[in-house]
Structure 1
Amino acid sequence: MKRVGSVSFPCNLFKNALNQMGHRGVVLFLLLQSLQALAEDGQLMCVCEDSGCLDSRQCEGSQCYSSVKVGGRGVVVTRGCLQGSEKSRMTCFTPATLSQAVLCCSSFMCNRNATADSLLPLLTTAPKEESVKYRMETLALFVLGPVVVLALLSVLSVLGCRKLHRGRLQEYDPEQGAIDGLIISNVGDSTLADLLGHSCTSGSGSGLPFLVQRTVARQIGLIECVGKGRYGEVWRGQWQGENVAVKIFSSRDEKSWFRETEIYNTVLLRHDNILGFMASDMTSRNSSTQLWLITHYHDNGSLYDYLQRVPVETGEGLAMATSVACGLVHLHTEIFGTEGKPAIAHRDLKSKNILVTKELRCCIADLGLAVTHSQANNQLDMGNNPKVGTKRYMAPEVLDETIQTDCFDSYKRVDIWAFGLVLWEIGRRTYSNGIVEEYKPPFYDQVPNDPSFEDMRKVVCVEQQRPFIPNRWFSDPTLSALVKLMKECWYQNPSARLTALRIKKTLDKIHSSLEKGKES
């Protein structure tokens, strides 16, 4: 039993109830610990592991703390003491962010058991608006005092007992990588369509509200691995009987996960031709940290995989190309207003990063290298990822390092170059007069299977070669029009290339001509 003032209460029961309430429970528990510290006299002995600890492993202060930070050096945990009630209050009630969180406590050596595994769940992907809201709520609770806290804890205890009465949560399953049986009222028996249908007003960009993201991520069971690469793995998972795609990033690609999560949670990206984002979470599996990105699942896989398996009719190929162009227009266009978005350049557009829907339309995926630009402040946001894309799809100005890195239009023109190569891939697998070529990647006959930067620079910049165009394409009106379009995407001079909007309008005209030809 702990005592605050003259009021006694069972801390363990309240702590268990608070754990059922997620982030708000953590805030209330921290407040309870702070009130306890105010009621006790003297200094606390704490474990000290920080730059200011020098050679000592212990320190004395008004409160103990432990913190976790995720950044360029990986996961860093520090522990130490806080001096003075004002400093303790400011530190302990600082809201958690995506990369840093602090946990305070007020008993002898209470931070000695703090580890990365126990602190990482405190990290949040909540928007800044939610952080301000939590800070105001915390301040209000602190001002109102112990009476209000005890009243809230009483209510939470009752709710906790009711939840425990309905059934305990099952253990974390290391094989499936999910917590089965987790039921939160925010989700209930909703379907993905129900949840995503209301997401545009959630304040969470194009994804689900933050608390629902964490809940959905922990309810997913991994079924089968459907793809592997340098980035990590992609799994088909299930959530409440519906298929979802779970991209598990490798530790060396942490910055791509962070960047994609950042963009999806701050930018309104809901569009038919952009891969639908559901949730992002940092989970623990087999005693190691995993970075998950959860999106819609498409049975047909990537455009790269699909074209290898299936040749397409002229209309199908044209519809695929048009849908990619529509997605690119949406990315490149800045939308103004309260629910707007900055302009975005993809920087790694290729057939492996484009998915094929069941309607044989395409959606653009993988925004880990994306760069954003806003006209309001003329700010170019490059993120913090040193990677520069896929060498086979690099534009000449990237290969010869003449690109204007401080100009956003330069990155859009890089996307246009890559789109021209994707258009060529679709063209090879499009029937005309009953003939179709086998799938091959761009420059397959000019560079090795895994070309180096120098291989591509020699072919594209020095020799100024372009992918080979078969003669049969020129005898087909639709393919001939596509050849003209892709060549206008491949100009050596970046400023001479078409814009995404002009490409889309040209493809619409080609499609109209095809339909008129069928009618006649």
Structure 2
Amino acid sequence: MLQRSIWVFSLAIVTSATDIIYYNCTCQGPYCSDKTCIGRTCFVTEQIVSDSRDIRTDRGCFNNSIYEQCSSNLDMLKVLCCFSEFCNENVTMFQTVEKPQEISLLLVTVLPIVLFVIFLMLFAFLFWKIKQSRRKKSLPRLIDFGHADIVNASIVGDSTLGDLLDCTTGSGSGLPFLVQRTVARQVTLVECVGKGRYGEVWRGLWQGENVAVKIFSSRDEQSWFRETEIYNTVLLRHENILGFIASDMTSRNSSTQLWLITHYHDNGSLYDYLQRTTVDPEGCLQLALSIICGLVHLHVEIFGTQGKPAIAHRDLKSRNILVKSNKQCCIADLGLAVVHTQNEDYLDIGNNPRVGTKRYMAPEVLDETIRTDSFESYKQTDVWAYGLVLWEICRRTIINGMVEDYRPPFYDMVPHDPSFEDMKKVVCVDQQRPNVPNTWSSDKILSSLMRIMRESWYQSPSARLTALRIKKTLNNLKNSLEQRKQDC
């Protein structure tokens, strides 16, 4: 039994003014002049006749707004609309008719636009992700200090530490994250072995092995953070770069301490080593060659999926070079390092306001003409400083049974703690250089090192040797000496 109420069922599609489609419809009712009519939609109406149960059915077509007609809200009237040829001929057929062809037109015109917009959005998102990924690869990876049980680590030498990290992938950077208790909590500090403007260096014990713990003061947090950044650079590990173990922010005696944990070397810094030890020419060459090998590894950019950015040290000096037990050197203290990637031409100079050591500053740094936007400029200042370190080593080399006392560069030209202006006058204005004794020219090795020094100290940065050229020269010298020994 039909309820005496209004209900309207409609399938209506609103199309644009253009592309209007008309259909042949069955026409049956008081308004029909023929059995068929042509309209934008066919309809069937079922109307309950007043005071009876009779239902009157009419058929026809609408030519005005489809939406308005098919949504009629007349009393006791049911309006059914359809959109195909003679679809209103019988009610059963009508209720299963297909949607109008306007849908196809809508899909043809609108859907491609929607898909194109979605494609553009996906392309933009993927492009952004790729740029972000390349940027991350070009920059040093950071330790996640949010997790107390996670420390970054790099591969270390043959020892318990080496065994612990043997599962490295071989990329050269070691495990990206070592899940264990924070290393700092397991280290026992034994003795203070050095102090500087950054803080202190302690010899510590971790699982029965010596480690070096560099403890930064809170005011030098930027140096600690920068050094942590650089040491976590992919493929940085090298026998002539100080071996990194971990970095941690820990709390001791109710105060925050910034720790950098590295390999420990009994011989200490090259500065300390040269004050108490002399070397023969072969030993001098070994120290010089090992330092330049480390510097070349820093300066070179390694391309590839697991690439390494180019790095300039910016504070190379004998105090920042350690002497290993095999009498080779490794470069330390990367707190002022500059990072560069060629692909994106990105130069990262860090946020550390501290400058390098005045005694080792190149002329262009002292007179402030250095091109701070050029990575090559920073590499050239490293070569200048390397020449000064080379001079320090040569002074402690025994030649014909004679050796000189250790002295720092420019010891006879500036005060013990020279000011910026002191160094600027000597290096830039007077253009003086450390004294190179004539006795050095009597030895094949030292005469070669003399030439390298002088070519590292040119006033014009572009005229100086590159680290790679120095390395090749020293390697050739070493090979010629070994060949001579074999011939003898």
Normalising by structure 2, report the TM-score: 0.67
- Is 1:420 aligned to 2:368, yes or no? no
Work out whether 1:282 is the aligned partner of 2:249. Answer: yes
User: CA 1:198–1:393 in structure 2 vs 1: closer, same or farther (change >3 Å)?
Assistant: farther
Q: What is the 5 A alignment of 1:344-383? A: 344-383=311-350
AA paired with 1:467? P
Deviation at 1:195, TM superposition (A): 2.8
CA contact (8 A) 2:182 2:248 kept: no
1:323-342 paired onto structure 2 within 5 Å: 323-342=290-309
CA distance in 1, matches of 2:286, 2:415: 31
Name the residue aligned to 1:299: 266
SS in 2 for 1:360: coil
Instruction: Give runs of aligned pairs for residues 448-459 of structure 1, distance below 5 A.
Output: 448-459=415-426
Aligned match of 2:211? 244
Shift of 1:199: 4.0
Q: CA deviation at 1:425?
A: 0.6
Query: Which residue of the other structure, out of 188, 191, 198, is the alignment partner of 2:167?
Result: 198
Q: In the alignment, is the contact (CA less than 8 A) between 2:213 and 2:259 conserved in 1?
A: yes
1:247–1:293: 8 Å Cα contact kept in structure 2?
Answer: yes
Q: Map of 1:401-412 to 2, 5 A cutoff?
A: 401-412=368-379
2:365 aligned with 1:389, yes or no? no
1:474 matched residue in structure 2? 441
Aligned-residue offset at 1:337 = 1.3
The 5 Å alignment of 1:43-442 reads 191-200=160-169, 206=173, 208-212=175-179, 215-442=182-409
Q: Distance in 1 between matches of 2:326 and 2:144?
A: 42
Aligned-partner Cα distance in 1 for 2:252–2:325: 32
- Give, as a single letter, the amino acid of the residue that structure 1 aligns with 2:413: Q
Q: Cα–Cα, structure 1 residues 482 and 212, in superposed 2: closer, same or farther, change >3 Å?
A: same
SS of alignment partner, residue 249 of structure 2:
strand
Task: Give me the identity figure in percent.
Answer: 73
* Alignment-mate amino acid for residue 512 of structure 1: N
Unmatched tracts of structure 1, length 5 or more: 1-96, 102-119, 128-189
Task: Return the offset for 1:213.
Answer: 6.9
Cα shift at 1:427: 0.5
Structure 2 CA distance for aligned equivalents of residues 474 and 508 of structure 1: 19
- Aligned-residue offset at 1:208: 4.8
Q: Which amino acid aligns with 1:468?
A: N
Q: Is the 8 A contact 1:207 1:265 kept in 2?
A: no
How well do the aligned residues superpose, as a CA RMSD in angstroms?
Answer: 2.3
Change (3 A) 1:100 1:319: closer
Give TM-score, length-normalised by structure 1: 0.63
Distance 1:200 1:413, change over 3 A: farther
Cα gap change, 1:316/1:212 in structure 2, threshold over 3 Å: closer, same or farther? Answer: farther
> Using the alignment, how far apart are the partners of 1:441 and 1:483 within structure 2?
17
Q: Does the CA-based 8 Å contact 2:387-2:453 persist in structure 1?
A: yes
Separation in structure 2 between the aligned mates of residue 353 and residue 451 of structure 1, nearest angstrom? 19
Contact kept? 2:284, 2:397, Cα under 8 Å? yes
Contact in 2 for aligned 1:371/1:380 (Cα 8 Å): yes
8 A Cα contact 1:373 1:380, kept in partner? yes
The amino acid that maps onto 2:188 is G
- What is the CA–CA distance in structure 1 between the aligned matches of 2:449 and 2:325, rounded to whole Å? 24
Counterparts of 1:453 and 1:417, CA distance in 2: 17
Q: Which residue of 1 aligns with 2:472?
A: 505
Q: Taking structure 1 as reference, are residues 514 and 376 closer, same or farther at Cα in structure 2, changes over 3 Å only? A: same
Of structures 1 and 2, the larger Rg is shown by 2
- 1:355/1:364 contact within 8 Å kept: yes
Residue 373 of structure 1 aligns to a residue whose secondary structure is strand
CA drift at 1:125: 6.9
Between the two proteins, the alignment pairs up a number of residues equal to 342
- For the residues of structure 1 that align with 2:397 and 2:191, how far apart are their CA atoms? 31
In 2, Cα distance between equivalents of 1:192 and 1:267: 19
Q: Compute the displacement of 1:289 (Å).
A: 0.4
Once the two structures are TM-superposed, the CA of residue 517 in structure 1 deviates from its matched residue by 4.6
Q: Which has the higher helix share?
A: 1
> Shift in Å at residue 502 of structure 1?
0.4
Match of 2:431 in 1: 464
- Residue identity opposite 1:418 in structure 2: A
One-letter amino acid matched to 1:197 = D
